[in-house]
Amino acid sequence: MHKISICLILTLFSLTINAGEILEGRVVGVHDGDTVTLLMAGNQQIKIRLAQIDAPESDQAFGQKSKQSLSDMVFNKAIKVDKDTIDKYGRTVGTIIVEGMDANREQIKRGMAWAYTQYLHDQSLIQVEKDAREAKVGLWSDSNPTPPWEYRHGKKISAVHQAAPEVNTAINASNPSCGSKRYCKEMSSCEEAKFYLTQCGLTRLDGDHDGAPCESLCGHGR
């Protein structure tokens, strides 16, 4: 037990050190308004995601302007990165310091990014965003700009809806008797729901995998 406690303490200490690590190098690529590629000693390249901010997506309004703003600040310049963590995509998340300037904060100040409240630990950035909004700079010149996290969510929903006709087409091709119905609420009877499940392969109707579709119509185990 004592050995386990020591190992746990050492692990937590190691994580703390890594989180406060300072990386140095030159920016060799700017992907969008909050992501760059850093070239470090030994020709090691790592992708840096600017912490606490979320810039417009490349195909969003002000997406390209946000990218250009960050590029003007950091491209081909020596920078330091105050590392926070590694995200699920393997990118290093941190604060970029270039020529003594906090590039993350500057992107918000210029109206080229939002304060990413979901991951915010410096609450002063909220005021920086508020000031930019009131001054109507950058993306705030639009009356109602869409936050990038909402934009990404909307694209995911759109992709699902676009894929739905392909599912129906596949079902219809395998059995010409299958119509375009896909949900229990569209079924007129238990018999129809069973037909779609067994003959059309519409397994979504059997949510609990008990062999009976649409329990609102067919009940449990009927």
Known catalytic residues are 49, 57, 91
Place of tokens 């600017």: 50
Closest CA to 71 of 115, 9, 40, 27: 27
